[in-house]
Amino acid sequence: MTAIRASYSDIKTVKTRSVCQLVFEIPIEQMSDAIAMLGAPVPGNEVWVGIARLRTESAEPEALPAPRPPQKLAGQAAMLCNDEGFQRWLDTDAEGAAAALRLRCGVKSRAELDSNEAAARAFKDMRADYKLWLSGVAA
């Protein structure tokens, strides 16, 4: 059995499905190893894994870095609009991607994503559609 060392960094509840998501972070250099081992996530095709806490040889537990505060949606949206894959998905450039995102989310500014619940939901749906497109699930 092979394992990947990760830090447990967050927990999120998905109330609509009565589940929670545990977020584990690994160094970016290990991403291809993790995908090779687990495959890419595909909705409706779950991969069951085991989770175990690692013990260190010393009596003191190893200090893990403090979790980073979650990035605001406006910042995530700005980064996404600059992503070449996202622009390719929308068949536009960064400026066009920002305009398409604002239109789909019903906002005048991406900053509204952090205070408008409906716009935030629309952004998360749009991001999920893009991720499906990236994985080859959606056309």
The residues that bridge with 28 in the sheet, in sequence order, are none
The DSSP code for 83 is -
Interacting residues of 87 by C-beta distance below 8 A, sequence separation 6+: 81, 93, 94, 96, 97
Q: How far is CA 92 from CA 65, 81, 82, 98, 117, in A?
A: 38, 10, 11, 10, 27
What gap in Å lies between CA 118 and CA 13, rounded to an integer? 18
Question: What are the sequence ranges of the domains in the chain?
Answer: 1-53, 73-135
Note the pLDDT of residue 64.
66
Note the pLDDT of residue 125.
94
Between residues 78 and 138, the one the model is more confident about = 78
Of how many residues is the chain composed? 139
- Say whether 32 sits in a helix, a strand or coil: helix
pLDDT-derived band at 62 (thresholds 50, 70, 90) equals: low
52, two tokens: 């175990």
Helices (H), the chain: 31-38, 73-81, 84-90, 94-105, 117-135
| pTM of this prediction exceeds 0.85 | no
pLDDT-derived band at 36 (thresholds 50, 70, 90) equals: confident
Q: How far is CA 116 from CA 6, 13, 109, 113, in A?
A: 33, 20, 11, 5
